[in-house]
Amino acid sequence: MKTGFTMKALSLAVLGLAGLGFGANAFAVCPTNLLKTDNPAGAWDAKSVLGGTLAISAGGFNTTSCKLDAVLTSAGPGSAFVRDNTPTAEPHYRARFFVNVDTLTGMNTIQSVKVFSANTDTPFLSIGEAIKLSVSGNLQGTAKNLNIVISSQGAPSNIVSDSKPLAAGVNSIQIDWVKGAAATVKVWVNSSTEASPTGTYTGLNTNGWVVDYAVMGLSTASPGFRNGAAPAPAQLNKIVSFDEFDSRRTSFIN
């Protein structure tokens, strides 16, 4: 019986789980392949680079060796993300990753891009994402927010949404998603204390969803993000970096 998830540290410095704990093995040189099928050191099951690019670069976050660089390059719909198929109909799912979006300068409120989602293989109410996170700017184009969208039957449009400010530099993002008729979902933004979530969302009817896979990177960019939204410039060809993705069933991720 599966007792835990495999950690996908995007330094690609960690690839081990035996249900009780994780093991690390740092590489002297960054691997050249993201996928398990391409390289034994690969961490991910699939990727999408339609109108975008993915690359492993040296100098990760939180003392790691390498990070993942995602770029959207197309003025039309595009994607640059990796996919983890480790979950299987999970009713409780935690995930943590680091992201730096400083290159997305001057973003305003109609410029947004998805950076993470936990998804079901069987969409409910035509919604395939149990929870998704995106980044957008503010009205003045001087700050960025993490937008949180949680699927919840009976809520307006069957979603509950919120936003939290992002800091300059590297941000730590963690989610705790639970299936239930009156579930509580939590999000931590730059908080390393389990008792101090940045957002707590209670009484959600998430019974129609489970988590079968997760994606991390850039996708579902708004037209304003791709083409510019005066006075903000287009955000194409700008590197957004990710690192230290980790997913588990229950325990808080430090």
Bridge partners of 164?
146
pLDDT < 50: residue spans in the chain:
1-27
Bridge partners of 116?
133, 216
Q: Please spell the DSSP secondary structure of 6-69, one letter per residue.
A: PPBBTTTTEEEE-SS-EEE---SS--S--BTTT-TT--BSEEE-TTEEEEEEE--STT-SEEEE
pLDDT the model gives residue 7: 42
Question: Which amino acid is it at 56?
Answer: I
Within 10 Å of residue 85's Cβ, how many Cβ atoms? 13
pLDDT the model gives residue 200: 98
Report long-range pairs for 76-79 (Cβ below 8 Å, ≥24 apart): 76/51, 76/226, 77/50, 77/51, 77/221, 77/226, 78/50, 78/51, 78/52, 78/218, 78/219, 78/221, 78/226, 79/48, 79/49, 79/50, 79/51, 79/52, 79/217, 79/218, 79/219, 79/220
- Residues in the chain, how many? 254
Of 242, 254, 252, 248, whose CA–CA distance to 118 is shortest?
A: 248
What angle is formed at CA 246 by the lines to CA 179 and CA 111, rounded to 5 degrees? Answer: 80
Say how far apart CA 151 and CA 154 lie, in whole Å: 9
Q: Please spell the DSSP secondary structure of 178-189, one letter per residue.
A: E-STTEEEEEEE
Say how far apart CA 168 and CA 142 lie, in whole Å: 11
pLDDT the model gives residue 112: 97
Domains and CATH numbers, the chain: 70-248 (2.60.120.200)
